[in-house]
A and B are shown apart, each in its own frame.
Chain A
């Protein structure tokens, strides 16, 4: 708990996310990231866009140290991502996978939401309080005892976000949060993400989501940041978007 408060205090001064000169090649030699620099201020909401295979998911997996071993440095709230800091890093970064069937691996919703806080070493009453709060934040508090495979895709996506909110992270890293959702669930998701105070890096192809939710946009292509600026300006630059396989909403 103290560790966590300390880290939270650091957030106030340090950048939420700081990526410097990050390079990574998958086993087999395919270079996925070729020198990425990116800084997110605390609470800043940033879109990460680019064609398939640009390295978006690879970058997200570096934020909490699931992928390591390339060149460069990643710091979360001032704390470098290193083997000895992984426990604290994973409490600071809430990474939500694209497919809720990968994210939700427990037999019931509440057990899944409790998984993060339990593995942070919190006491059970605190775990239960956080789980209830996280489920309430995504308007799923009635669904605690339900089984994930009985929920709709939109509901599973919301529970997926609750599983990391319960860890009270400083940064949310979301991989395609709106893919496969119908328009109504999409709007509900955008409203929900809008209310969250955390810094956010959202990898997505959904340019409407980018326009409505994320004031800053980073375009990643072939493992490099090729544009980084205000969403309103980037979305107006039709040539830039087309060059990188994107489309204005």
Chain B
């Protein structure tokens, strides 16, 4: 049931990165992700520069590199989507695998493209990992609001964050109730796969219905306190000089890297 044990992403700390204002960190992380995405294929030294910047972030945030690596593994499954590129790009043959009647040929250009995508997505996810590990989620939501992200998106994120734990616990209680009644007589298994899938389907359905009913009650609670369709919120703290300075340094470095990538382009 460990997948339901939701953990807080934020790591307590008082490092330089922890103390920066959330908006500055959010902007820097988004800029970093854009820079990684816009880097041309096969420019390893530019991607390496971005990795150095990321490592500096990990060090300044006093984060454990292992923690960042573990969390950034989230990016790996998405790389599968890039694998077909290996065989579809024109170029020098690297290796060939026979698939039924066909022979799939991997090319060096294809390999370069896949590796670039792998690195880019890993760098992007790692930047997000550093951001969420050094900034409390509540501050990130306020930062989105402060940066004038669309209200409906901020509200959706904020409700999701508030209720994901509540719904997670509800799911856990359902699972526990199922386990308590999943006794089995020795020599007999607990029902066919079809039957188990049926039980699971019922559980998911019941979780959905409960969440739906909860949503109605929350809406009533909001209306009871004067909500009339327009969401209002408290203003955010102001950015300090240090926040601007840190943001300027990161943006400057990213701009320099990307300019270099284009000017020295092969």
Contacts and interface: CB of A to CB of B under 8 A. Distances in A.
B166 A101 contact: yes
Interface SS of chain A: helix, strand, loop or mixed? helix
A105 B232 contact: no
Residue among B158, B163, B221, B234 with the most chain A CB within 10 A?
A: B221
Contacts of A106: 158, 162
Given A99-B217, A124-B234, A148-B162, A107 B141 contact: yes
Name the interface size band of chain B: 20 to 34
A124 B236 CA distance: 11
Nearest to B225: A116
A149 B166 contact: yes
B102 to A, nearest CB: 53
A19 interface: no
Contacts of A167: 225-226
Contacts of B234: 110-111, 114, 118, 124, 127-128
A97 B222 CA distance: 11
A127 B217 CA distance: 25
B176 interface: no
Contacts of A119: 225-228, 232
A115 interface: yes
A90 interface: yes
A90 B224 CA distance: 6
Contacts of A108: 138
A134 interface: no
A69 to B, nearest CB: 15
Interface string B109-141: 000000000000000000000000000011001
A110 B139 CA distance: 13
B212 to A, nearest CB: 13
Contacts of A204: none
B234 to A, nearest CB: 5
B226 A149 contact: no
Given A107-B141, A107-B158, A87 B228 contact: yes
A148 B224 CA distance: 19
Interface string A55-68: 00000010010100
Given A147-B138, A149-B162, A102 B224 contact: no
Interface SS of chain B: helix, strand, loop or mixed? helix
B90 interface: no
Contacts of A22: none
Contacts of A115: 222, 225, 227
B235 interface: yes
A61 B220 contact: yes
Contacts of B222: 105, 115
Interface in B9-53: none
Contacts of B226: 87, 90-91, 116, 119-120, 167
Residue among B217, B225, B227, B234 with the most chain A CB within 10 A?
A: B225
Residue among B224, B226, B227 with the most chain A CB within 10 A?
A: B224
Contact of B162 (A95, A97, A107, A164): A107
A148 B158 CA distance: 13
Interface in A144-162: 145, 147-149
Nearest to A149: B165
Contacts of B227: 115, 119
A217 interface: no
A25 interface: no
Contacts of B196: none
A158 to B, nearest CB: 16
13 contacts: A87-B226, A90-B223, A90-B224, A90-B225, A95-B224, A102-B218, A102-B221, A105-B159, A106-B158, A115-B225, A119-B227, A120-B226, A163-B225
Interface of B: 137-138, 141, 158-159, 161-163, 165-166, 214, 217-218, 220-228, 232-235
